[in-house]
Amino acid sequence: MQNIYDLTLQELEQFCTPSYRAKQIYSWLYHHYIDDFDAMNNLSKDFRQTLKTTFQLQRPKIITTQHSKDGSKKYLFQTHDLHNFESVLLKMRESQNDETGKIIQEERWTLCVSSQIGCKVGCAFCLTAKSGFVRNLSAGEIVSQVVSVKKANQIPPQKRLNIVFMGMGEPLDNFDEVIKAIQILANKDGLSISPKRQTISTSGIAPKIKKLGELNLGVQLALSLHAVTDELRSKLIPMNKAYNIQEVISTLKKFPINSRKRLMFEYLMIAGVNDDIKSAQSLLKLLNGFKAKVNLILFNPYENSQFQRPSEKNVRSFQEFLMQKGLLCTIRESKGLDISAACGQLREQNL
């Protein structure tokens, strides 16, 4: 039986007679976060019964929640077939009130969603890779992460989140389901999360980047670069042996981006591996000609990891060099260090 969360509005309209019922169902799913077809009380009892015998209304269960002192929350989900995966809700900005209590600045959230259970890429620094690959998540399982987290935090329907496909798995390795999830998330009768608020982070599957660009969905793209030589990148990201740096860079040059946006390059800084000024110089040269933004990410250590977190001095020096040369570079604030925030840590504890 198909999960109703796997359906786009257009697919649901084909099932519903009259078709406007599909928008009513979408409202219940994505505005009211209901858990039972019987809660759809503006639909007839017969039609609700038809829905129950045709579809499952099924979201992965939240089985563990960890709360960080910085406001971040990490969720461990369990699927219907008893596999675990993670999502992380990051509080990017606190709300502010004036003297009368009126909200003058709303809080801002980013939700990091998973696209696979496990991962095939096998990055040397990633704990997710240690447990191997289990299966892809369906579009509905991806979308359900957003619904469940919004419901758990009583985030109202009109409150938008930024979505990053940067959790467990390589999004472009689950291409069709991720694209469908993006379309469901963006639907204005549902969660209404514009593609420009959705970012796909990829380790660099060049043909899939090309295919994504041809769809021109309006999503943001972030390349997990992490190294500036093929020798080092192949050690950190084995996929580089199939799609080396130059092939990925050449593909990115053809990727359509909004004139007001930049291509994002994620650079995981690891002590003694890629955090020196020589690497910064090579990175500057590699990204010459791009309208780019570099996000420096400090490695988040986990038990028995072979890598270490870089010093703040090295990170600041790296950033200052790039900024002085005109390359926009930010240091991603580490969040959730007290709640198993490294991707895969919470799942590893519950295997």
Q: Is the pLDDT of residue 239 over 90?
A: yes
For the segment 284-316, what is each residue's pLDDT rounded down to a tens digit?
A: 999 998 999 999 999 988 888 889 999 999 999
Q: Is 214 a catalytic residue?
A: no
Q: Whole-prediction pTM value?
A: 0.92
For the segment 252-270, what is each residue's pLDDT rounded down to a tens digit?
A: 999 998 777 899 999 999 9
Mean pLDDT of 48-58: 97
Catalytic annotation, pick one of 13, 86, 170, 177:
86
Residue 342: what pLDDT?
A: 52
- Domains of the chain in start order, with CATH, are 2-56 (1.10.150.530), 61-349 (3.20.20.70)
Q: What angle do CA 50, 51, 57 make, to 5 degrees?
A: 155
**What is the rounded end-to-end Cα distance, in angstroms, of the chain?**
28
Q: Is the pLDDT of residue 348 over 60?
A: no
Q: Is 320 a catalytic residue?
A: no
Catalytic annotation, pick one of 123, 126, 329, 343:
343
Residue 84: what pLDDT?
A: 96
Mean pLDDT of 84-91: 94
